Amino acid sequence: MIRLIRNLIVLGIILLLCIATIYGILGYNKYKESITTMPIKEKVESVRQNKSYVSLMDISPDFTDAVVAIEDHRFYEHGAFEFVSLLRATLNNLKEGEIVQGGSTITQQVAKNLYYSNKQTFTRKVAELFLARDLEEMYNKDEILELYVNIVYYGEGNVGIKEASEHYFDKQPSELTYNEATFLAGLPQAPSIYSSNSDAAKDRQAEVIEALKDYRNENEIIE
């Protein structure tokens, strides 16, 4: 009986490795196809040329801190991806047979928004990892964060923090108050829901505020 269990475990591991290898190859091919069609630097430059693009220094620190706190609180500490979160998400997704958990870092989200739609597949997730690795090699963390806040969707047709700030509060990103900044930082997770449901938006904002407090406290302790 013990031998049978051991054999089943080994078989399961081999099966997982085979699946991972297949998706690894498919994802790498998708990644190569993407950067061949348009290299990363060209893609980034096209984003920066957008009239709504705004630099990090022209955005409220409350907003950028809140984004890191709620989306990827170890963003400045890890690399392109966080192994533990990635492994947990991968195992859960393989178990369900579909993408049910993201585990994405801010860099991975930038990779997705630069090249792919919101339709999640295992192949695309792997391609994101290769793109995220390249992004981390080409750009520093502040540059990646700047790209992120400029390309994510904030609901009601608004892409990027400049459009969102002007639409929701008739302000420039640098003028956002703490309350406004924490509201906007929570939108990208589910923009269609939070932009139309005030109760859900308030609950999400409370999560952002709590995460921001913890993030700033942690950084004060480290410093």
- CATH number of domain containing 160: 1.10.3810.10
| Residue 80, helix vs strand vs coil | coil
Query: What residue type is 14 in one-letter code?
Result: I
Q: What is the domain count for the chain?
A: 1
Alpha helices in the chain (DSSP H): 2-37, 40-48, 61-71, 83-96, 106-115, 122-138, 141-151, 161-169, 178-186, 191-194, 198-222
Residue range of the domain that includes 37: 2-222
pTM: 0.84
pLDDT tens digits, 135-185? 999 999 999 999 999 999 999 999 999 999 999 999 999 999 999 999 999
pLDDT tens digits, 12-70? 677 777 787 888 888 889 999 999 999 999 999 999 999 999 999 999 999 999 999 99
Cα(10)–Cα(30) distance, integer angstroms: 30
The Cβ of residue 85 has, within 10 Å, a number of other Cβ atoms equal to 17
